[in-house]
Copies of this chain bind each other. A is one copy, B any other.
Amino acid sequence: MSQAVIISEVAPRDGLQSIGSFVPTETKIAMVRALYEAGVRRMEVGSFVSPRHVPQMADTAEVLKAAKQLPGLECTVLVPNRKGFDLAMDAGADRLGFFMSVTEAHNRANLNRSRDESLAELSALVREGAAAGVAMRFNLSCAFHCPFEGVVPVTEAVDMLERVFSLDPGLEIGIADTTGNAAPDQVAAVFAHALASWGNPFAFHGHDTYGMGLANALAAYEVGCRIFDGAAGGLGGCPFAPGATGNTATEDLAWMFRRMGAATGLDWAKLLVAADLCAAVPGGQPGGRVRGVPGARAAA
């Protein structure tokens, strides 16, 4: 008997943030509502980052406000630093999402500081979040492969998990295949170690760039991972990297788990409606596979 999984939707944040032209707030809210209608109950709705650096996320407070009106929807917002933390707490986010990289080079390129500096800053915020009783997710980018350092040894990912785990035993940790080039046996090794060592919930955040998105999700599932990030419509490509594709599509994950008899809580027909809506966002770079398959459409 297959185990139920949670698919945590990231299209409104990870799927949109690389789109150059501003996606109107009402479009973002329409995405959130369609995904909610499809049964999504965990969603990354935005991030409190600098609007100068990521103008696409400038309306996160408004999107969050609308999302919070949907009963039972847990809304995550990404929080890069103290300022974002304060904004997210003020706005009443249900879950805070922190992030840093497993590799030094990617952490510096993406966050302009060392891993030690990131960890020190975030550990203070994690402590405050825990004291305030807010749910948190700590995301580790490039846990398997790094655009600068190449393949990440399993020991390096595990070492970083250990450091993050020491911050708070209740923290959910998201382990991310940022480049989409993780090998399934790496994913299995890291998740098997994590799940055997700590009681925390762990989530797999995958990209389908190399076509291995589902294979890697399967590898994580087989060793016990039960939380998966997905972006409806496969949104999320990088406009500056030709051929780069986005997050593993929510509907592709949902189809595989459905075929395996693992409950997702999602309504297939409504999920296709939501995925089509997300894929049609102007300026977006949609991906995913099952949306285009007659046999999958016929099942709706």
Contact = CB atoms under 8 A, between A and B. Distances in A.
A91 B288 CA distance: 44
Interface string A212-248: 1111011100100000000000000000011110000
The 7 closest A-B pairs by CB, nearest first: A211-B289, A183-B259, A214-B215, A243-B292, A215-B215, A215-B218, A183-B260
A296 interface: yes
Nearest to A181: B295
Contact of A294 (B183, B243, B289): B243
A296 B211 CA distance: 11
Given A182-B259, A183-B261, 10 more contacts: A183-B256, A184-B256, A210-B295, A211-B252, A211-B289, A215-B215, A215-B217, A215-B256, A244-B293, A244-B294
A217 B212 CA distance: 11
Interface string A262-300: 000000000000000000000000001110111110000
A208 B219 CA distance: 18
A77 B132 CA distance: 69
A295 B148 CA distance: 11
Interface of A: 2, 147, 179, 181-186, 208-215, 217-219, 222, 241-244, 252, 255-256, 259-261, 288-290, 292-296
A132 to B, nearest CB: 40
A260 B186 CA distance: 8
Nearest to A291: B243
21 contacts: A2-B185, A147-B295, A184-B256, A185-B261, A209-B293, A210-B255, A210-B290, A210-B293, A210-B295, A211-B213, A211-B214, A211-B255, A212-B255, A214-B214, A215-B218, A215-B256, A218-B218, A222-B222, A241-B294, A243-B292, A243-B293
Nearest to A241: B294
Contacts of A241: 294
B211 A295 contact: no
A219 B217 CA distance: 12
Given A218-B218, A242-B294, A243-B294, A259 B181 contact: yes
A198 B179 CA distance: 40
Nearest to A292: B243
B184 A260 contact: yes
A212 B244 contact: no
A145 to B, nearest CB: 9
B211 A290 contact: yes
A293 to B, nearest CB: 5
A4 to B, nearest CB: 14
Contacts of A255: 210-212
Interface centre among A183, A211, A296 (most CB of B within 10 A): A211
Contacts of A182: 259
